[in-house]
């Protein structure tokens, strides 16, 4: 379907890649990138972290995709503790105060316990 849409002149933007990452559609994401679809590296990493898309996160990092503190913040907000731990072990930046705030506002007690 995507190939047909492109052949018909359908435009795309960074959100095509972001939605593919968010939904865990790694094959689609790879195809989009191979076809030159734009992306915002940090937003894609954050979307993948928020939705526990391990394979997408690992592929993004293998491609040298940059990330920022929001990947950790969104993982904490959604209670994705294993993702948060992995992000930190891989050197993803974070703001501990914002992580605590996101976890507390969303009642992610396991994240708060880990942060103690």
Helices (H), the chain: 2-7, 14-23, 26-34, 41-50, 54-62, 69-77, 81-89, 96-105, 109-115
CATH number of 2-115: 1.25.40.20
d(CA 36, CA 38): 6
Question: For each of the chain's 116 residues, which pLDDT tens digit applies?
Answer: 777 767 767 778 888 999 999 999 999 999 999 989 998 988 999 999 999 999 999 999 999 888 999 999 999 999 999 999 999 999 999 999 999 999 999 999 999 999 98
d(CA 111, CA 76): 6
**Segments making up each domain of the chain, as ranges:** 2-115
pTM: 0.84
Can you read off the two tokens belonging to residue 72?
Answer: 């950790």
């Amino acid at each position: 379907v995507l190939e047909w849409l492109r052949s018909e002149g359908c435009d795309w933007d960074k959100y095509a890649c972001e939605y593919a990452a968010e939904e865990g559609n790694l094959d689609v994401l790879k195809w989009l990138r191979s076809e030159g679809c734009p992306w915002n590296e940090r937003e894609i990493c954050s979307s993948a972290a928020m939705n526990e898309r391990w394979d997408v996160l690992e592929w993004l990092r293998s491609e040298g995709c940059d990330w920022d503190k929001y990947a950790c913040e969104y993982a904490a907000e959604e209670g994705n503790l294993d993702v948060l731990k992995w992000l930190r072990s891989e050197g993803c930046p974070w703001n501990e105060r914002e992580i605590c705030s996101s976890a507390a506002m969303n009642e992610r007690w396991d994240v708060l316990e880990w942060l103690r």
